[in-house]
Amino acid sequence: MSGTGTGVPRASEQGPGEVLSLLEHERGLRLHLVRRFERGDEGAYEVVDPHGRRLVLKWVPWREDTARAARMTARRLERLRGRGCLIPAVAASGRVGDVLFEAQEFADGRPVERVTDGLLGQMLGAVAAQRGAGLGEGADWWDFLVGGLFEDRTPLCRPSALDGCTEAVEQLVKRLRAVALGARPPEQTFDDVVHFDFGPANVLADGEQLTAVLDWQSCRDGDAGYDLVTTDWDLAAWPKADPGVAERLANEIRRTTAPQSAAVYAAHTVLRNLTWSSGTEWEEHIVRTGHSFLDQWTAG
């Protein structure tokens, strides 16, 4: 179905009311809107079905490549659930109108505001379960990351957003790119599932118990060590951990990730944070933290 000339809004313009109507008419899914969650780049809504079951509804414009990526993601997550990963089950998904939707079970718990040693241990366990769970599509992992420092490869990292940036940002970007170009690709098979946006902001917990890992839409095959580095960045940029937690995480990165890989992952992580912070009140903080973070992972 095309949104042009049919009276149907394009997917990017469709609000929750239109999507809920499509779900009822095309899928027979009657869902009641409760609220929009405050966090989430693509938008996530709490809905309930006629039986009172709480679900989280998301949607994006439908495209063939997006649909294929969603199918691959579903396969990866099924593998991870089989390994005990706390990933909410999908109640329904697919295409309605010009959108690709997913309704997943509502996960109990609250966003992690402070990482304790116990929670870190569970997060490390989640990343460990991602090792070797890939679908055999990790051959381009290294090129994907290095190339992503020069051109837009993913919505999470967009170098084009830095056009016309300040001199401070430009100098840091040059340093990040030099680190990536100077690193040799490690001699290993990249066969892990990488969450790609892993960290305290995307996990839920009930007290000291991890209850769910959320927002897997950007996952891909590669090296799960990347997820450890993004977590370390989160603790460096927005300190919210008990004493000793950051040191334990850094030791785990050094134990499981080749030094040159960690340096490239750090460079990529910093650049992706520059792409949203450039020109904002957070730019100076991200630039300063970015240099110190790169110092940490390029030392020696």
145 and 93 co-located in one domain: no
- pLDDT for the residue 124: 98
177 and 89 co-located in one domain: no
pLDDT tens-digit series, residues 179-227: 999 999 998 899 999 999 999 999 999 999 999 999 999 999 999 999 9
The verdict on residue 259 lying in a domain is yes
The single-letter code of the amino acid at 189 is T
Q: HSE-up of 279 (CA within 13 Å, CB side)?
A: 7
Q: Domain holding 58: CATH number?
A: 3.30.200.20
178 and 208 co-located in one domain: yes
Mean pLDDT of the chain: 93
Of residues 147, 152, 149, 142, the one with CA closest to residue 177: 149
CA 164 vs. chain centroid, Å, equals 27
Q: Of 80, 105, 130, which marks where a domain is finished?
A: 105
- pLDDT for the residue 295: 97
Q: Domain holding 168: CATH number?
A: 3.90.1200.10
150: left (phi over 0), alpha (psi -120 to 50) or beta: alpha
Structure tokens at 210: 């991890």
86 and 123 co-located in one domain: no
In the block, tokens 């340096």 appear at 263
- pLDDT for the residue 6: 34
Whether the CA torsion 268, 217, 240, 225 is positive or negative: it is negative
139 and 164 co-located in one domain: yes
Query: What would the mean pLDDT of 144-157 be, rounded to a whole number?
Result: 96
pLDDT tens-digit series, residues 14-24: 799 999 999 99
The verdict on residue 232 lying in a domain is yes
Give percent of the chain above pLDDT 90.
90
249 and 141 co-located in one domain: yes
- pLDDT for the residue 14: 79
Domain ranges, residue 80: 11-105
- pLDDT for the residue 42: 54
- pLDDT for the residue 96: 97
62 and 120 co-located in one domain: no
The verdict on residue 23 lying in a domain is yes
Residue 11 confidence (pLDDT) above 80: no
Top pLDDT among 53 and 4 is at 53
Give 42's contacts (C-beta < 8 A, 6+ positions apart): 58, 60, 217
> What radius of gyration, in Å, describes the C-alpha atoms of the chain?
20
Give me the helices (H) in the chain, please: 16-22, 64-82, 117-130, 141-147, 167-182, 225-237, 245-256, 259-277, 283-298
164 and 181 co-located in one domain: yes
Of residues 255, 214, 232, the one with CA closest to residue 120: 232
Query: What would the mean pLDDT of 77-97 be, rounded to a whole number?
Result: 97
Structure tokens at 98: 């010009």
- pTM of the full predicted structure? 0.92
- Count of domains forming the chain: 2
- pLDDT for the residue 38: 79
- pLDDT for the residue 35: 95
Query: What would the mean pLDDT of 156-183 be, rounded to a whole number?
Result: 96
Confidence of residue 43 (pLDDT cuts 50, 70, 90): confident
pLDDT tens-digit series, residues 64-81: 999 999 999 999 999 999
Give 159's contacts (C-beta < 8 A, 6+ positions apart): 148, 149, 150, 151, 152, 173, 271, 275
Give 28's contacts (C-beta < 8 A, 6+ positions apart): none
Give 135's contacts (C-beta < 8 A, 6+ positions apart): 72, 75, 76, 221
85 and 187 co-located in one domain: no
The verdict on residue 253 lying in a domain is yes
pLDDT tens-digit series, residues 235-279: 999 989 999 999 999 999 999 999 999 999 999 999 999 999 999
Query: What would the mean pLDDT of 131-154 be, rounded to a whole number?
Result: 97
147 and 283 co-located in one domain: yes
